[in-house]
Structure 1
Amino acid sequence: MTQAPVPTADTVRGLVRALVEESGSGGPGPEVRPVRAEDPAFTWWVGPRHVLRLAPDRDASARQRRELRLRDLVRPHVPVALPTGLAQGEWSPGLAYTLDTKLPGGTAEEHDVSAVGEADLAGLLGGLREVQPRQAEALGVPRAAPRSLEALRRMAVAAARRLARADEFDAGLLNQLTPPGAAQLAARPAPSVLVHHRLRGEHLVVSADGRVRGVLGWTDAVLGDPAEDIAGLALAVGSGAAVRAATLAGYGARPCLRGLWLARCDTVVRLAERLEGHGADDPLPLLRNRLRRAWEAILLERVTEFREGGEDGEDGGEGDPAGDAV
């Protein structure tokens, strides 16, 4: 495979200069700087109001182009803003770029989400359920099979023991999720919904008053298990806020608790991997914050009864108390 070129400030300035000349606005063009101090950096601020994203490979290029069309499909269904694409093309042969509007506000890592912000998140989750899967599939959005919670639980149990030895985590907390409990929370056959799949704090645009004003990062969207988005919100805003938002969006206890335990197991596994020098390069403080948010205790765990025969996690029929399972 040919090694992709490394984008530099000169690369970005040349591209922006060409866009400025194309628009006929003249002048030296706006200031450019990397969004994060990455080396190499593939996402750049262009002046105060735009973001330039450079795809690092052909797969990312395809997903980035698809994202432009997907955002237009999603936009009418959700109460929050999505970036608008202003220009697209290739910054190197076969490698795409997109120039987007910048959404004003901070992130969920910088601002707490208020109760009204939780209602914004509920509108987002509810809106994603309204998107017709066949329309998303026509854009090339892939289908993704639900993950095995039991397999993830086993990985998390092993990782929790390693974290306990490093005095990072109480491994006994994972005893709350037993194998029968994981089986009860297994994904059920159901129509797939559009899932953002990366609802992390850095992708939620949050204003100083706690409102969720926008959502970024749609390149990894899939048709699949909505519990994955509930899990993402647990990492971003905490388990309580995530479950409240999902409940407001019409999700029942089962998908809420499944999302909660996906998030909890993920955070244990990711932190252990990072401490051992492999896995994602996310900063340790961020991984520890995600762990803390995901492991917030919530009342739903103690009061919910799982019942057979319900649709999309809604109660109906007889079942075992959730307290016996989780």
Structure 2
Amino acid sequence: MTQAPTPTADIVRRLVRSLLKDGADDTAGPEVRPVAEGGEPATWWVGTRHVLRLAPDRETASRQRRELRLRDLVRPHVPVAVPTSVAHGEWAPGLTYTLDTKMPGGSAEVYDVSALGEADLAGLLTGLREVPVRQAEALGVPRTGPRSLEGLRRFAERAAGRLAAADESGPVRLHQLSPAAAVQLAAQPGSAVLVHHGLTGEHLVVSADGRVRGVLGWTDTVVGDPAEDIAGLARAVGSPAAVRAATLAGYGARPCLRGLWLARCDTVVQLAEALDGTGGASLPLLRQQLELAWEAILLERVTELRGDDTKDGGES
């Protein structure tokens, strides 16, 4: 198997110079620099108006091709911006690239989401539910089954013990999620929708006034459990804001609480893995996500869930 080339500034510069020719005799081309420091750079800022994403392997290239088609499918259904590609192709044999227009704004890690921003997130969740599942699957979007909340709860309990031993327990109160409650919050049959599956703070483009203007990172989108996106928002903007947005989108108590506890268990497990040296994310970010996911919400006072108290969405 041929070794894929390592993306370098010279490779990127030559590529973007060929893509952004405007007739001017500018041999230097726009400034290029990696978005993230350290590691093998796959995402580059190109001047002040574009971002270049390079697929480092064939699996990522396949997902990037699918993402370009998926963004066109999603765009009419959601009220926030979806990245637009101004050029795409191969930067090396079998390895794709997309040159996207940079969205104005910062991330949810920089700006707080306002009440109007929560309405934007509600519109996003509503729009994802309205995307026809069959059309998404025809593009190659995979279908995934819902995770076992009871299995995750048991895993999180062990992780919580490691956090306590390291004096990292923070707000963790896993006893609030009993085995019976975990079973009660199982995903309901027929509730699969299009799920972004990557609603992290860095993927939410937020303006200085707290509005959510766009959503990045569509390569991991699946057809599956909508509670996963509620969980992602809980880690990104806090549980109260996530639940308010999901409620505005028409989701009832069960998927909201399920998303809440998926987020809480995930943050406990991921922080414990990072402390053990087996996780990849930074400790400050994981601690922040844990704090956000464990913010208390009024809905937690609900003690009984009935089959008709939720609007889980459904397939179309």
Query: So what's the TM-score if we normalise by structure 2?
Result: 0.95
Which amino acid is 1:184 matched to?
Answer: Q
Which amino acid is 2:19 matched to?
Answer: L
Q: Any runs of at least 4 consecutive aligned residues in structure 1 with deviations exceeding 3 A, and if so which?
A: 23-26, 309-314
Corresponding pairs, count: 312
Identify the residue that residue 294 of structure 1 maps to in structure 2.
Answer: 293
- Contact 1:163 1:171 (8 Å CA) reproduced: no
- Contact 2:42 2:53 (8 Å CA) reproduced: yes
Does 2:257 match 1:253? no
Measured in 1, the distance between the counterparts of 2:44 and 2:172 equals: 43
Measured in 2, the distance between the counterparts of 1:288 and 1:49 equals: 33
Flag the structure with more relative contact order, 1 or 2, with Cα contacts below 8 A and sequence separation at least 6.
2
Identify the residue that residue 152 of structure 1 maps to in structure 2.
Answer: 152
Alignment of structure 1 residues 87-166 onto 2, 5 Å: 87-166=87-166
How far apart are 1:56 and its partner, in Å? 1.1
Measured in 2, the distance between the counterparts of 1:108 and 1:170 equals: 22
Alignment of structure 1 residues 1-326 onto 2, 5 Å: 2-21=2-21, 24-28=23-27, 29-169=29-169, 173-279=173-279, 281-303=280-302, 305-310=304-309, 312=311
Which amino acid is 1:249 matched to?
Answer: A
Structure 1 alignment gaps of length 5 or more: 315-326
- Contact 1:160 1:170 (8 Å CA) reproduced: no
- Contact 1:57 1:95 (8 Å CA) reproduced: yes
RMSD, matched Cα:
1.5
Measured in 2, the distance between the counterparts of 1:98 and 1:186 equals: 38
How far apart are 1:26 and its partner, in Å? 4.3
Change (3 A) 1:171 1:44: closer
Change (3 A) 1:226 1:242: same
Structure 2 alignment gaps of length 5 or more: none
Worse-matched range after superposition: 215-224 or 186-195:
186-195
How far apart are 1:11 and its partner, in Å? 1.1
Change (3 A) 1:172 1:247: closer
- Contact 1:190 1:312 (8 Å CA) reproduced: no
How far apart are 1:24 and its partner, in Å? 4.2
Deviations 1:126-175 (A, max 9, x none): 01011000111111111011111011111100000000000000586111
Measured in 2, the distance between the counterparts of 1:4 and 1:211 equals: 40
Measured in 2, the distance between the counterparts of 1:118 and 1:171 equals: 24
Identify the residue that residue 323 of structure 1 maps to in structure 2.
Answer: none
Change (3 A) 1:172 1:265: closer
Identity %, equivalent residues: 73
Q: Secondary structure at the match of 1:6?
A: coil
How far apart are 1:312 and its partner, in Å? 3.2
- Contact 1:157 1:171 (8 Å CA) reproduced: no
- Contact 1:161 1:171 (8 Å CA) reproduced: no
Deviations 1:160-211 (A, max 9, x none): 0000000000586111111101000111111421000000000000001000
Change (3 A) 1:94 1:296: same
Measured in 2, the distance between the counterparts of 1:9 and 1:162 equals: 42
